[in-house]
A and B are shown apart, each in its own frame.
Chain A
Amino acid sequence: MSLLEKSFELARAENRALLIGYLPAGFPTLDRSILAIKAMAEGGVDVIEVGLPYSDPVMDGPVIQQASEMALANGFKTRDVFKVVAASPAPTLVMSYWNPIERFGVAEFSENLKKAGGEGVITPDLTIEESQSWISSTDKEQLHRVYVVAPSTTDNRLAKVTKHCSGFIYAASLMGVTGARRDVSSAAQSLVERVKKVSNTPVCVGLGVSTGEQAREISKYADGVIVGSAFIKLILDSKSESEANLKVKSLATELAAAVRR
């Protein structure tokens, strides 16, 4: 059993949802991103999702776009993501658009991630039809493959996509890009219910989740809650690194309490 699977099992035993926190590697700098991730884990985030900054993040809203641009401007390189994964104190997945992985080399990427202790990869713009090399290399390295499904995904397609997922299934709470929203759309719950009909893999809900209240709501029907932009916003709005990490830790604590049903 992988560390990720153990985390889900532990959460289930405690009758709660898993809390997944997202931060981009190299944002605002490599060292600071590692410290922010540690703060997230100290606050109570169970699993870390490390973003690989990309020049054209079409599924991301303004906050992650800004963070990605800052990371790239500060010299982020693809191989830096493995340093962040290695330094992360919790089970860690990478979230990456496809082109940087392909450019790095699909097999090399998987090998390096495994060596760094990574659990798997979330690929928001890779379709299962284009996944042949990805499936074989992640299988070889025993990495989890997480695909994103959306409210627009048909039942027929949900069955096909989730068959290739392992670790968990990323359910997008709404039709749109990442970034905090005031309300989590009702589409999330019906999507999770539809996924549950075709797969036994845990389902985690992300996109637009930023507050304890939203996390509590989602925890009632999903196996995990994913929060990203809200952490980044705290870092962007802080005057100092120590202030940023304190705020990150405190949001993590608030969310971790909320996912306990």
Chain B
Amino acid sequence: MPEALIGALDELSRAHQEALSDPTFQVELMELHRTYTGRPSIITEAKRFSEYCGGARIFLKREDLNHTGSHKINNVLGQALLTKRMGKKRIIAETGAGQHGVASATAAALLGLECVVYMGEEDTKRQALNVARMKLLGAEVIPVTTGSRTLKDAINEAMRDWVTHVANTHYLLGTVAGPDPFPTMVRDFHKIIGDESRAQMLELIGRLPDAVLACVGGGSNAIGIFYAFLNDQSVRLIGLEAGGAGVETGKHAATIVGGTPGVLHGTRTYVLQDGDGQTRESHSISAGLDYPGVGPEHAYLHEIGRAEYRAITDDEAMEAFSLLSKSEGIIPAIETAHALAGAMKIGREMGKENGKETTLLINLSGRGDKDVQTAAKYFGIPL
């Protein structure tokens, strides 16, 4: 990490630690979640989708029903409140699918902060609707034209902005990657997903699920739902990465499954890189998973064997996308569809293995409205 940003990272660490132990901060955040985000989010049992999952009982944690349509708002509201606490007036954010950008623009509007969102030019095309949403919310969207023109380059550009304007600007990083304290801080703001789910499952079925599944790009929604279950050894934690055209083709974004240890954006983790340590371009039909790094805590959970990580191809994800839409009336984000495709596989496997009822909890991290164009094109629906 550049020395120029150490001061800002230290300041952020302090603000985060103070906020954690400050009841007023916690009350303010919880009140916003109750009256603005729409928390707690509900759990829906997907009875018809269960058919495609080997008959396993499927429970969906409905983060898609949050204000702005995904789990991203949990972290954004937390960091936006921290921004005010630090006395800063401007936030910058990177975005891939646009969900984090939209959530950031929303929080900025709510709290009266200036907001600039960096987005790879490639992604501004894939997610034109979200670009318009951010602009309507009063944010400035800057298309990034360097490198692969996707999420990783948007992060580079946001870092450059931050180092230039650090005195009055907070970098509202949207995932559990990047330098300390971001991975733990962003996790802390998302762990409410797992805390709620764990209690809800006990209430609904009187026991914990056999496995918890979530898609993993940077890994924020996954760590959010995993965290409460880390000490429940009976619960398998399964992260589904973007396998793109297939890990064996090299065109994918499955960083843990197909990457190697390295340093990217100020964190040591798994990275898609060549033999010289140059970052390789990632590929995924889902802009939100299209990142060649992954949160360091996922790398750790993988290494100690507490969580498992698998790759789901574009085609598998799109099949699950279509099946959930048609069997449950819920159009998921394409990112989330990777977790659903994982449930189809894991449900079948576990049903065969233990011969008794299997229960899977899936983080339905976002809704698919933003993906209608991509999906229509994929399925050949004329627009």
Which residues does A use to contact B, with CB under 8 Å? 54-59, 61-62, 65, 69, 72, 77-78, 98-104, 124-125, 127, 147-154, 157, 161, 172, 175-177
Closest A residue to B293 by CB, please name it. A56
Contact with A along B271-308 (1 / 0, CB 8 A): 10101111100000000000000000000000000000
Closest A residue to B160 by CB, please name it. A177
A99 near B163: Cβ-Cβ < 8 Å: no
Q: Would you give the shortest CB distance from B162 to chain A, in whole angstroms?
A: 9
Q: Complex formed: what's the CA distance from A54 to B276 in Å?
A: 9
Interface SS of chain B: mixed
A59, A61, A157: the one within 8 Å of B2 (CB): A59
B6 near A176: Cβ-Cβ < 8 Å: no
What residues of chain A lie closer than 8 Å to B167, measured between beta carbons?
175
Closest B residue to A177 by CB, please name it. B160
Known A-B contacts A59-B163, A152-B166; the reply to A127 vs B6 at CB < 8 A is yes
What residues of chain B lie closer than 8 Å to A62, measured between beta carbons?
146
- Closest 10 pairs between A and B when the two form their complex, measured CB to CB: A103-B277, A150-B4, A100-B277, A176-B164, A99-B277, A55-B279, A55-B278, A58-B159, A152-B7, A78-B276
What residues of chain A lie closer than 8 Å to B153, measured between beta carbons?
56
B4, B146, B263, B279: the one within 8 Å of A152 (CB): B4
What residues of chain B lie closer than 8 Å to A147, measured between beta carbons?
3
A125 near B4: Cβ-Cβ < 8 Å: no
What residues of chain A lie closer than 8 Å to B263, measured between beta carbons?
98-99, 102
B112 within 8 Å of A by Cβ? no
Q: Would you give the shortest CB distance from B6 to chain A, in whole angstroms?
A: 7
B160 near A99: Cβ-Cβ < 8 Å: no
Q: Complex formed: what's the CA distance from A99 to B271 in Å?
A: 10
Q: How large is the interface on B (under 10, 10 to 19, 20 to 34, 35 or more residues)?
A: 20 to 34
B13 within 8 Å of A by Cβ? no
Q: Would you give the shortest CB distance from A194 to chain B, in whole angstroms?
A: 13
Contact with A along B147-166 (1 / 0, CB 8 A): 10000110010011001111
Known A-B contacts A55-B147, A102-B262, A152-B8; the reply to A177 vs B276 at CB < 8 A is no
Most buried by A among B160, B165, B167: B160
What residues of chain A lie closer than 8 Å to B147, measured between beta carbons?
55-56, 69
What residues of chain A lie closer than 8 Å to B276, measured between beta carbons?
77-78, 100, 103-104
Contact with A along B250-269 (1 / 0, CB 8 A): 00000000000011111000
Q: Complex formed: what's the CA distance from A156 to B245 in Å?
A: 51
B160 near A161: Cβ-Cβ < 8 Å: no
Contact with A along B1-42 (1 / 0, CB 8 A): 111111110000000000000000000000000000000000
Q: Complex formed: what's the CA distance from A231 to B279 in Å?
A: 26
A157 near B6: Cβ-Cβ < 8 Å: yes
| A–B complex contacts, Cβ < 8 Å, 14 sampled | A55-B279, A56-B147, A56-B156, A59-B160, A69-B147, A77-B276, A99-B264, A99-B277, A100-B277, A101-B277, A103-B277, A148-B4, A149-B3, A153-B7
